[in-house]
């Protein structure tokens, strides 16, 4: 075997390795991430379909791999693969009361009440 044949084989090996790390590996990672997203969907999640239709998941049929979306009262059935992204997920816990909502804020007086008070003080 001469050196030109070895260098040609080496170039092909390098080219295949470069193709793997530049194209195939990132695509597999992206595919795995999408599969995780689709498997973690649940009722009440807001989603966007591939056709850019926004809706809320009403039911998920794991046997048929379909999802029924509630789009402002209109129920549409899609394949799970038609979901492009999850906009917001429903919280796992029930409702919680934050400290901010329990604090009462003082009511500001209107401009008329302030001017009436100033008029009384001037009299």
**pLDDT tens, residue by residue, 12-61:** 999 999 988 888 888 999 999 999 999 999 999 999 999 999 999 999 99
pLDDT for 64 equals: 92
Query: Is the overall model pTM greater than 0.75, yes or no?
Result: no
Confidence of residue 101 (pLDDT cuts 50, 70, 90): very low
pLDDT for 25 equals: 87
The tokens describing 103, both together, are 């604090």
Given a contact cutoff of 8 angstroms between Cβ atoms, the answer to whether 41 and 60 are in contact is: yes
Q: Tell me the average pLDDT across 104-120.
A: 54
Residues 6+ apart with CB under 8 A from 75: 58, 68, 69
């Amino acid at each position: 075997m001469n050196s030109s044949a070895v260098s040609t084989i080496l170039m092909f090996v390098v080219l295949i390795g470069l193709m793997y790390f530049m194209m195939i590996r990132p695509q597999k990672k992206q595919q795995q991430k999408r599969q995780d997203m689709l498997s973690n969907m649940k009722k009440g999640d807001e989603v966007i379909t591939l056709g850019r239709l926004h809706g809320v998941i009403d039911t998920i049929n794991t046997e048929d791999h379909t999802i029924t979306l509630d789009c402002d009262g209109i129920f549409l059935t899609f394949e799970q693969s038609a979901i492009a992204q999850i906009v917001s997920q429903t919280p796992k816990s029930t409702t919680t009361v934050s400290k901010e909502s329990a604090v009462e804020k003082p009511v500001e007086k209107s401009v008329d009440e302030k001017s009436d008070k100033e008029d009384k003080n001037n009299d």
